[in-house]
A = this chain, B = another copy of it.
Amino acid sequence: MKFSYVTQLTCSKCSRAYSPDIVQQLCVCGSPLLVSYDFKTLAKMLKPSDLVKRKPDLWRYHELLPVKSPDRIVSLGEGMTPLLRMKKLGTDMALSQLYMKDEGLVPTGTFKARGAAVGVSKAKELGVKGLVMPTNGNAGAAWTLYSSRADIQAVIIMPKSAPAMIRSEVALANSQLYLVDGLISDAGKIAAKTAAEFNLYDVSTLKEPYRIEGKKTMGFEIAEQLGWSVPDVILYPAGGGVGLIAIYKALKELQELGWIDSNKMPRFVAVQAEGCAPIVKAWKEGKKESEFWPDSRTVAFGINVPKALGDFLVLEAIYETGGCAVAVNDEEILKEQEKMIRKEGAFICPEGAAAFLAARKLRKEGWIQEFEKVVVINTGTGLKYMGQEGAELPLLQPDERITRLQVLP
């Protein structure tokens, strides 16, 4: 048995192949690369029951992850988060089988840790010494902490509007943090320039192929926790949308292995905020890609992404599964969050609340039936959204670039 059955990286648009043994970014055609595996061999070698004795973290699926050597794994114990029945909230929505996949119970408090664990582990395996990342906050915190553990230097760029707590979290760890007086899209442009100038690995969403592999373990876990079956509907708060793409990829992989029914796929729902709903707009118009959403804003800052590089993959997952895309209102998001905390004691984040709110709306409209099995992804703990004044940090303008890196202690 090999530790990983990774074979190659494949372009999500033009299918061009790349080696997983050296650092890769986007395809020459400008599209994201996805990781391929040798499912044919693996289907013969591995059975679901082989997993039973493994540790309850995401590395239990190591054959389906890109890291080839177990001693390259950089782990803080991430994965196998609870799948919890939400009876009272379900009753309140007239849903008899409402579940929450709680991604608050991971290192750094959000599902971003999954992407960071696998992304940083693979970066370490590839010999990366430094990386740069634009972020709305949580991904930056996750990549910072895993990079610290891996002895990789991280440069993080986030909007100045990111929560102060996350700023402090990043600042305390072994990374260099820059704020930008703009959006994550502005941070992305600065990151690209910084990567080029300082020879850093640009780990912007989908510009590196491995974080999606970490996130797809949410899909493996949901299937395993439901006894190797899938729910009827999965609702996901979509900013960059990588988690949704990843869960969809995971379930297709499990179908290829014959571990779940190849005829049943959940309907995927991408949930966005009314103040930033490019994917919802594209879906309503039947388009394959979204357009940049100007002046985006929402309390659920993790989904404040005006244009996602992987939008076409999110839309593809929605179209192929008969899903949909829903925009919800900020004020109602906060009410849904409060309802969850008071009814179920689950301190979810606004993004998670947005997804629960979407479930409520879709049930009301009859798009979800009463007895369907519904899984909502809560992408992180609500604790990270409580305000606080942050440290003094360099502040960049959207059109500025980083001209000098600080020296690490």
Specify the main secondary structure of chain A where it touches its partner: mixed
Check: A104 CB closer than 8 A to any chain B CB. Answer: yes
* CA A388 to CA B384, docked complex, whole Å: 12
Instruction: Select the residue from A77, A80, A81, A173 with max chain B CB neighbours within 10 A.
Output: A77
Q: A68-105 CB contact bits vs B (8 Å, 1 = yes)?
A: 00000001110011111000100000000000001011
Check: A298 CB closer than 8 A to any chain B CB. Answer: no
Check: A42 CB closer than 8 A to any chain B CB. Answer: no
Q: Which of B77, B345, B386 contacts A149 (CB 8 A)?
A: B345
Check: A53 CB closer than 8 A to any chain B CB. Answer: yes
Q: Which of B81, B107, B342, B384 contacts A148 (CB 8 A)?
A: B342
Distance between A217 CB and nearest chain B CB, rounded to angstroms = 14
Give the chain B neighbours of A106 by CB distance below 8 A. 105
Contact B105 A347 (CB under 8 A): no
Give the chain B neighbours of A135 by CB distance below 8 A. none
> Which stretch in A30-38, A121-129, A164-172, A311-319 binds the other chain?
A164-172
* CA A75 to CA B102, docked complex, whole Å: 12
Residue of B nearest to A142 (CB): B345
* CA A77 to CA B346, docked complex, whole Å: 10
Contact A76 B80 (CB under 8 A): no
Listed A/B pairs (19) with beta-carbon separation below 8 Å: A56-B56, A76-B84, A76-B102, A76-B346, A77-B84, A88-B149, A105-B105, A107-B346, A109-B381, A145-B345, A165-B386, A168-B386, A169-B347, A172-B347, A173-B341, A173-B345, A174-B341, A383-B383, A388-B388
Contact A344 B172 (CB under 8 A): no
Check: A338 CB closer than 8 A to any chain B CB. Answer: yes
Identify the A interface with B (CB < 8 A).
52-53, 56-57, 75-77, 80-84, 88, 102, 104-109, 144-150, 165, 168-169, 172-174, 338, 341-347, 381, 383-384, 386-389
Contact A107 B383 (CB under 8 A): no
Contact A76 B172 (CB under 8 A): no
* CA A344 to CA B342, docked complex, whole Å: 35
Q: Which of B148, B343, B346 contacts A345 (CB 8 A)?
A: B148
Contact B345 A169 (CB under 8 A): no
Distance between A336 CB and nearest chain B CB, rounded to angstroms = 13
Contact B82 A57 (CB under 8 A): yes
* CA A53 to CA B82, docked complex, whole Å: 15
Contact A147 B383 (CB under 8 A): no
* CA A104 to CA B104, docked complex, whole Å: 10
Contact A105 B107 (CB under 8 A): yes
Instruction: Select the residue from A83, A88, A387 with max chain B CB neighbours within 10 A.
Output: A387
Distance between A386 CB and nearest chain B CB, rounded to angstroms = 5
Contact A347 B383 (CB under 8 A): no
Q: Which of B80, B343, B383 contacts A165 (CB 8 A)?
A: B383
Give the chain B neighbours of A384 by CB distance below 8 A. 383
Give the chain B neighbours of A389 by CB distance below 8 A. 387
Give the chain B neighbours of A109 by CB distance below 8 A. 109, 381, 383
Give the chain B neighbours of A341 by CB distance below 8 A. 145, 148, 172-174
Residue of B nearest to A141 (CB): B347
Give the chain B neighbours of A107 by CB distance below 8 A. 102, 104-105, 345-347
Give the chain B neighbours of A387 by CB distance below 8 A. 388-389
Distance between A242 CB and nearest chain B CB, rounded to angstroms = 21
Contact B56 A53 (CB under 8 A): no
Contact B108 A347 (CB under 8 A): yes
Q: Which of B52, B88, B386 contacts A53 (CB 8 A)?
A: B52
Give the chain B neighbours of A347 by CB distance below 8 A. 107-108, 145, 169, 172-173
Q: Which 6 A-B pairs have the closest CB atoms?
A: A77-B82, A56-B56, A149-B345, A145-B345, A148-B345, A388-B388
* CA A52 to CA B53, docked complex, whole Å: 6
